[in-house]
A and B are shown apart, each in its own frame.
Chain A
Amino acid sequence: MERTWSRPGPALDLLLKGGRVVDPGEGIDEVQDVLIRKGKVAELGTSLEAPGGVREVDARGLLVLPGFVDLHTHLRTPGREDEEDLDTGTRAAAAGGYVAVFGMANTDPVVDTAALLSGLVDRARREAVVPAGFFAAVSRGLAGEQLTEMAELAEVGAVGFSDDGQPLATAQLVRRALQYVKLTDRFVAVHAEDASLVRDGHMHEGAVSARLGLGGMPSIAESIDVQRVLEVAAYEDGRVHLCHLSAAASLEHLERAKKAGVRVTAEATPHHLTMTDDEVASLESTLKMNPPLREESDRAALVKALKSGLVDCVATDHAPHAPEEKDVPFEEAPFGTTGLETAFAALYTGLVKKRALPLGTLVARMSAGPAAIAGIAPPAVRAGARADLCVVDPEAVWTVARDGFQSRSSNSAWLGRKLTGRVRLTVAAGRLAWEADA
């Protein structure tokens, strides 16, 4: 069953010479040449020669990694192609080392019918530079009332079901969704939030919001809903995925549920893993997201959970916004930061280089971890596998700049920041999807 689609292109022939291959799924961390023939990894070895006509790339000093998978992207298509479309969104993905991305359903119109989803699939076949897949909504129009036709949507290829952008309003809706999704082999992805506790909220509630006079979004707004969703999932034995966890208390609920055998997976974003609410003092609207940047104790708990595997994967929650929407006072700005093009560098800089997370673990959480949840073959640097990989310069230091994005939007929380690690080349579905200017 296909869950991603991309536009056709020539199958790649390439020899990556002398790179450090890090693929925890294959148990590899060593310098290897990687020969790609006809879009597949043909061979790994120490002194491979490029066959006639095959281009050779000097990868000495570079990392060769299984490509990343993003389970949580807002591709803004259909409806807001001025912010992102399938072409720019997947170009951004490619530039970030991603070989598959999954778009959320809160578009305009909402992805809630098989006809609409089929239309998106067709567009992906024409426009997507790296394979793109799609969530369908849990409720029609995200109205929180009537379920979508999940069985048909799954047949067309929905990766899962989500009303992301907003929580599932009632426990009854959580319950019905987790019951009904069993008609498919998919899952329900939940944006956990008790809406009544975040009304008029603009940032994490704590000492920083008190000082700034901004309405607070308390961490209990997330953890209360996480607990509710997990109780329903346990009761119904439904398969649930928790989006963008941010609060330490949510992780405690998650840990208890996993121990009890609840079928739950969870993701964390690069921004929640590397930034805290202290940053918000600048009132930069790019730092306004939902869930909000939280406290250092939350961030540290999140990193620990990612390391242990309690949190299964990294997901960007890439949320492009038009400049006129974000060039407004913090209190008036919409939530969201872009993330595809900075994810690896942000985590490499903020966690790996600071020895908070081993490189292999980061790779696993960005690649095989999300692939398993999505139900796609995990990208692997293995002879015989389809070529889904990226080449990263771990020494490259760069400053995130407004004009440096492939994405149509530039509302990045990392604007102006210096990051280490840059994706040089991405091969997705056996095709060259991205190559940085040398």
Chain B
Amino acid sequence: MAKRDLISMEDLSREQVELLLDTAESFLPVLERDIKKVPTLRGRTIVNLFWEASTRTSSSFDLAAKRLSADTLALKASGSAVEKGESLKDTAITLSAYGPDIIVMRHPSAGACQVLSANTDASVINAGDGKHQHPTQCLLDLFSLRQTFGRDLSGMKIWIVGDILHSRVARSDIMGFQMLGMDVTLAGPPTMMPRGIGEMGVGVEYDLGRLKEADVIYLLRIQQERIKAGANFLSSLREYSRLFGITTARLHPHQRVMHPGPINRGVEIGADIADDEENLIAHQVFSGLAVRMAILYRTIVGYSDVSSGGEVL
């Protein structure tokens, strides 16, 4: 049987996405128990291979694996093979000697997951590759949306605001949101809007004039390096936040804000919004664990028991 990789949101059907979210929901009671552990993946090996620093995603995966009783092995870029100049292909071959069931990888370059997958029998889960995809972030975003607004998200209007060009989260989210029937609009400065993105079936806005139409506003992190001389994606953070920063004044009471973190207070998001419990930002962090447990579980046991409604316990 072909192994199951999760590299892009395009690897999943809508049914599989729904099943993953149902599975994540069924893990929630486990996370509220005193002993937050189930024996589901005992004897399985899951490797975390992070070529880019990301404490939050790597620890979320690590904890998810441990909650499922899997053996885990973590390799970080610093201090491991990477520094010695070993190629990704060689690392993949070396790691395969441990017979892992899953390798979770973050890598700065698009196409890295394909190279890894071609050189290992393990299933590959993409924890972010360059500006390409970040499907597990998308799934936890969908989970937060569903926990907040109910199972049926169709027809909801979501705006993704910020640096679309450099955002793997935006690309995965566009696919995931659309898969569940949401209406997606992108907003940001023209320098950060990839040419041709409209062909994904999204609205494109260069200002927030129609922001009131949104039910949910998904903010992306603005990175300081985009202002560097020669890059010229932005003239200044000040101008960005004047034009695209989300402040209380810009929000209608019914609108909810999301952010994949880490946030830049005072740049893309006002401090009061970041702290407002009504928003989904804290929930997104919370969702990460259950959703990543569901992804690890489904990657190993498969998606075939759709009829059971995803009950796993």
Contacts and interface: CB of A to CB of B under 8 A. Distances in A.
A213 B199 CA distance: 14
A214 interface: yes
B88 A213 contact: no
Nearest to A324: B87
B283 interface: no
A330 B110 CA distance: 6
B12 to A, nearest CB: 16
Given A206-B196, A328-B87, A213 B133 contact: yes
B120 to A, nearest CB: 13
Interface in B107-162: 107-112, 114-115, 129-133
Contacts of A206: 195-196
B132 A214 contact: yes
B171 interface: yes
The 8 closest A-B pairs by CB, nearest first: A330-B111, A213-B131, A207-B196, A331-B109, A210-B194, A329-B109, A329-B111, A207-B199
A329 B110 contact: yes
A212 B110 contact: yes
A259 interface: no
B76 interface: no
A208 B196 contact: yes
A213 B195 contact: no
Interface bracket on A: 20 to 34
Contacts of B110: 202, 212-214, 283, 329-331
Given A207-B197, A213-B130, 19 more contacts: A205-B195, A209-B195, A209-B196, A210-B197, A211-B199, A212-B171, A213-B131, A213-B132, A283-B110, A324-B87, A324-B89, A329-B88, A329-B130, A330-B114, A331-B108, A331-B112, A331-B130, A332-B109, A332-B111
Contacts of A331: 108-112, 130
B200 interface: yes
Interface in A265-288: 282-285
Contacts of A328: 87-89, 109, 111, 115
Contact of B194 (A209, A285, A327): A209
A329 B115 contact: yes
A103 B72 CA distance: 52
A213 B171 contact: yes
23 contacts: A202-B110, A205-B195, A205-B196, A209-B196, A210-B195, A211-B171, A212-B132, A213-B110, A213-B131, A213-B167, A213-B194, A214-B131, A216-B195, A218-B195, A282-B114, A324-B87, A327-B87, A327-B89, A327-B115, A329-B88, A329-B114, A329-B129, A331-B111
Contacts of B196: 205-211
A328 to B, nearest CB: 6
B131 to A, nearest CB: 4
Interface string A319-331: 0000010011111
Interface in B72-128: 87-89, 107-112, 114-115
B201 to A, nearest CB: 11
Interface in A180-224: 202, 205-216, 218
A167 B10 CA distance: 37
Interface in B174-199: 194-197, 199
B112 A329 contact: yes
B265 to A, nearest CB: 26
Contacts of A324: 87, 89
B259 interface: no
